[in-house]
Structure 1
Amino acid sequence: MSRNALSGTTIAATAVVLSLGLTACSSGDGGQVGVDAKQTLTVWAMGEEGKRVADVAKKFNEKHPDITVKVTPIGWDVAHQKLVSAAAADRLPDMAQLGSTWMGEFIDLGVLEPVDTKAFKADDFFPAAWKGGEKDGEVYGVPWYVDTRVLYYRTDLAKQAGVTKAPETWADQLALAEAFKKLDTTKWAFSQPAGGQGSWQNWAPYLFSAGGTIMDKDGKLALDSPEAVTALTEYAKYFDKGLSKNTPAAPGYDVIKDFGGGSVPMFASGPWMVQNIADQAPQIEGKWAAVPLPAGKQPASIIGGADLVTFESSEHKAAAQEFTKFLTSTTTQADWYEMAKSLPANKNAWDEPALKNADVDVFKKALNSAGEIPPLAQWEQVAHEIDVTLEKLAKGGDPAALAGRHTAAA
């Protein structure tokens, strides 16, 4: 899951690769190049990260002058198809950035090199980020950066509505939305997705907060569990009470304009919204707050971001490991935050001045309580089913019946 786009997985394209029997298409298992040899390391990176990581690589070259890092920037909108096609043609780079929800698919394709867990320690990373790349006892990706979800709300309008304390529980959040609804300026008290692509990201924290999981202990989908029904029931309250719009948002909708104008005084989203609000709605500086998502049974959010992976076919695995170490080191992670405002996956980087002096504590709390998105090969299909469920829920669908439909989808 990236900040710029969902993975855009094409299940049919994946099936083509699987049907070709392309597992470990290595061209160089027996010809590995040592880390001290003169070589070129090819890296694919997506979105804004792809444009910036080449600059970071220059610092890496100061310590490893014999390793030339060749970075190819790729747009998120075409990245998945490009990777699938490259796997089919046995033309993958040495390493790449993968959206966290892509991990399960590419693990199943058999094209990823397992991570050396002596070189990278699970305890250095947020647990949910590390587990997102782990399957059957092997780890296939090293978390690079993370994102999560928190609650944004207008504190000035909350005060006008008679609420002076930040919401901490589901009941608090619902009460605040109902108070917002009474204001003349309010159109929708809470911007909560009524289905549509990616809406699962707003519902999953309810599931985790209710004590539920995506998968059960037997590795089966658990989206028909009692906890899932509780989460759907709580999510539905905002539509049933007219607090949230019960149809999906129009393509390209940006909540910040309505948030700044006061017509939508509350929404849940990721850390990038802090800068977006400052840039697009400077008139409300000091009049809003970001707080951890209010809790049901327990505090919870979700974790997203990107992993760094090395492909099994690479002849430069030692160099790839060194570059991955460099990108996920405490110092580089802090530098990357200053450059890209991406939250470090390495927990130790949060003690660096760049993070200590930033107002990011709310995101650290959210990351520490984040639920795990498991590395499922067909995660996008599951995510789509959740999105469809939420659209039906917003139109008055029964939570228990809608939870049950996921059993058939599995």
Structure 2
Amino acid sequence: MNRAATTAAVAVTLAAALTLTACGGSSGSQASADSKQTLSVWAMGTEGEKLADVAKVYEKANPNITVKVTPIGWDVAHQKLVAAAAAGKLPDVMQMGGSYMTEFADMGALEPVDTKTFQKKDFFPAGWQQGEYKGETYGVPWYVDTRVLFYRTDLAQKAGVDKAPATMAELQQAAEKYQEKADTKWGLSIQPGGLDTVQSFYQFLYSAGGEIVSKDGKAVANSPAAVKALENYGSYFKKGLSEKSVRPGYDVTKDFNNGSVPMFFGGPWIMGLIDENYPDLKGKWAVANVPADETSASMAGGSALTISADSEHKAAAEEFIKYLTDAKGQADWYKRTKDLPANVNAWETGELATDPNMQIWKTQMESAKVSPAQPKWTEITSKIDSAIEKVVQGKASAQSALDAAQGDIEGLVAK
């Protein structure tokens, strides 16, 4: 799917719709929090599936509230949200990815957060920052996300790799050893192209000291650090250490289990998938912080919960979000999904406080980088997706691919 084209295709309709409807405030009457009503909720991916179970628990404790959860695939989430905004048909509550927040806040499609009800001090700074735009907060952090290195420890022993790679040079050396001595098909799984390839690239980009757009709003996609990072990224495909063509819906954990992929960068929910689907792998894998280049840095992702500016159920929506984002709700959500809680108070007890693996995630979150607040961020990152794919397929050098991306991005950056 060409995300940039999709966004452009609905842009005219969206602009017209917002002009006609003056999106940014509900013209209908507001229902009280405890009156009988139905809340419509959109949530993405696995979260959309798991949230339906939580909603049932919530309904039992709040019999006047019916929560209708609609799961949306991440591959079509942006398209559906933009189209719904254009039609004036956004749900009451939406899961909003960090990369989408600024765009929809800029549209006037989101209700500002009541910062007396939801307080910044209760959440990881990186999670809260993703909901901020032009002095307002538009999303309550639901979970935070970053990436760390997953690696097969049993295959590492066969390969003569006695510790987790600590540097980017060691990462490539380990990938080569896995292939040569442990007979793995690949050395490292990283995304070769397609939607959100940039999320696979961030670990290389940020660790090299690169950015796409600087904090002061300048496009820096072809900086020396960014070029260095993409050359490093592309070298895995050039050397045959990573697969150049990955089928849609590819599940890296299957190849991690069968041993053809010994290393990959992944999010916290993957730990639960491995434990649940491949119990025989217990004790044969581990996680480690992103190998350092200039530094060890990963993306700060995650999702927030937002309320539509046009919702007629804002009070009930706020109560439901409170339930999901307080310390108790966050600890329960972690048990269900392995998503990292955004509420820092949830980390003070239980597995989150005692598991050494969780300290790796916590350390990585502390250095993770938040995407800049740019309304056209999804279009901006699509240019990087394309640049990466050109390099991977041998159609362009890192320098020329990023030079082209830089030219496109300069016209998209908010002045």
| Shorter-chain TM-score tier | 0.7 to 0.9
Equivalent positions of 1:27-46 (< 5 A) are 28=26, 31-35=29-33, 39-46=37-44
SS of 1:222's equivalent?
A: coil
Please list, as runs of the form range in 1=range in 2, the aligned pairs for 1:239-278 lying within 5 A after superposition: 239-245=237-243, 247-278=244-275
2:201 and 2:233 in contact (8 A); partners too: yes
Q: For 1:316-395, what aligned pairs fall within 5 Å after superposition?
A: 316-356=313-353, 359-395=357-393
- Taking the TM superposition and a 5 Å limit, the aligned residue runs for 1:387-406 are 387-396=385-394, 397-406=396-405
Q: Which residue pairs with 1:71 in the alignment?
A: 68
Q: CA deviation at 1:407?
A: 1.8
Pair 1:18 & 2:15 matched: yes
Structure 2 counterpart SS, 1:112: coil
1:113-150 deviation per Cα after TM superposition (whole angstroms, max 9, x unaligned): 11122322223222222222222222111111232211
Indicate how the Cα distance of structure 1 residues 64 and 223 shifts in structure 2: closer, same or farther if over 3 A, else same. same
Q: Please, which runs of 5 or more residues in structure 1 have no aligned partner?
A: 1-5
Aligned-partner Cα distance in 2 for 1:7–1:401? 20
Could you say which structure has the higher helix fraction? 2
> Which residue is 2:413 aligned to?
none
Measured in 2, the distance between the counterparts of 1:78 and 1:170 equals 33
**Residue 3 of structure 1 aligns with which residue?**
none
Q: Is the 8 A contact 2:34 2:65 kept in 1?
A: no
Q: Is the 8 A contact 1:128 1:373 kept in 2?
A: no
Structure 1 Cα separation of the partners of residues 57 and 99 of structure 2: 29
Counterpart mapping for 1:51-70 below 5 A: 51-57=49-55, 60=58, 68-70=65-67
* CA positional deviation for 1:361: 2.6
Structure 1 range deviating more: 366-375 or 39-48: 39-48
In the alignment, the residues of structure 1 paired with residue 352 and residue 111 of structure 2 have an alpha-carbon distance, to the nearest angstrom, of 32
Aligned counterpart for 1:138 among listed residues 131, 136, 139: 136
Q: Which TM-score applies when normalising by structure 1?
A: 0.87
Residues 155-234 of structure 1 mapped to structure 2, 5 A cutoff: 155-183=153-181, 185-234=183-232
Q: Is the 8 A contact 2:154 2:285 kept in 1?
A: yes
Per the alignment, residue 412 of structure 2 pairs with none
Structure 1 residue 24: deviation in Å? Answer: 4.0
How far apart are residue 323 of structure 1 and its match? Answer: 2.2
Shift of residue 296, structure 1, vs aligned partner: 1.2
Q: Deviation at 1:86?
A: 3.2
Q: Which amino acid aligns with 2:326?
A: S
Contact 1:24 1:313 in 2 (8 A): no
Deviation (angstroms), 1:9: 6.1
Q: Which amino acid aligns with 1:318?
A: A
Quick one: structure 1 residues 15 and 199, their matched pair in 2 at CA, closer, same or farther if it must change by over 3 Å?
Answer: same
Check conservation: 1:130, 1:143, Cα contact below 8 A. yes
Displacement of 1:300 in angstroms is 0.9
C-alpha contact (below 8 Å) 1:257/1:280 kept by paired residues: no
- Distance in 1 (alpha carbons) for counterparts of 2:4 and 2:60: 34
CA displacement at 1:96 relative to structure 2: 1.8
Report the Cα distance in structure 1 between the residues aligned to 2:49 and 2:240, rounded to whole angstroms.
43
TM-score under structure 2 length normalisation: 0.86
- CA separation in 1, counterparts of 2:41 and 2:182? 53
Tell me how far 1:290 sits from its aligned partner.
Answer: 1.1
Please list the CA deviations of residues 66-95 of structure 1 after superposition, one character each: whole Å capped at 9, or x if unmatched.
x51422323225544443343233233322
Query: SS state of the match for residue 18, structure 2?
Result: coil
Give the percent of matched residue pairs that are identical in Structure 1 and Structure 2. 47
CA contact (8 A) 2:189 2:261 kept: yes
Residue 350 of structure 1 aligns to a residue in which SS? helix
Tell me if structure 2 keeps the 8 A contact 1:149–1:293.
yes
Q: Which amino acid aligns with 2:85?
A: A
Contact 2:26/2:311, CA 8 A, preserved across alignment: yes
Residues of 1 paired with 2:254 and 2:160: CA distance?
24
Deviation of 1:403 after TM superposition, in Å, equals 2.0
The answer (yes or no) to whether the contact 1:47–1:73 under 8 Å persists in 2 is: no
Contact kept? 1:45, 1:71, Cα under 8 Å: no
Q: Deviation at 1:35?
A: 3.9
The count of aligned residue pairs is 403
- Matches of 2:346 and 2:85 in 1, distance apart? 34
- Give the whole-Å Cα distance in 1 for the aligned partners of 2:35 and 2:376: 39
CA distance in 1, matches of 2:5, 2:367: 27
2:256 counterpart of 1:237? no
TM-superposition CA deviations, 1:245-303 (whole Å, max 9, x none): 3x231233333333223232111122222233334444332122111111111121112
Does structure 2 retain, via aligned residues, the 8 Å contact 1:133–1:375?
A: no
Give yes or no for contact 2:39–2:317 (8 Å, CA) kept in 1: yes
* Correspondent of 2:295 among 290, 293, 298: 298
Q: Matched residues in 1 for 2:302 and 2:4: separation?
A: 11
Partner Cα distance (2:321, 2:277) in 1: 35
Q: What displacement does 1:308 show?
A: 0.5
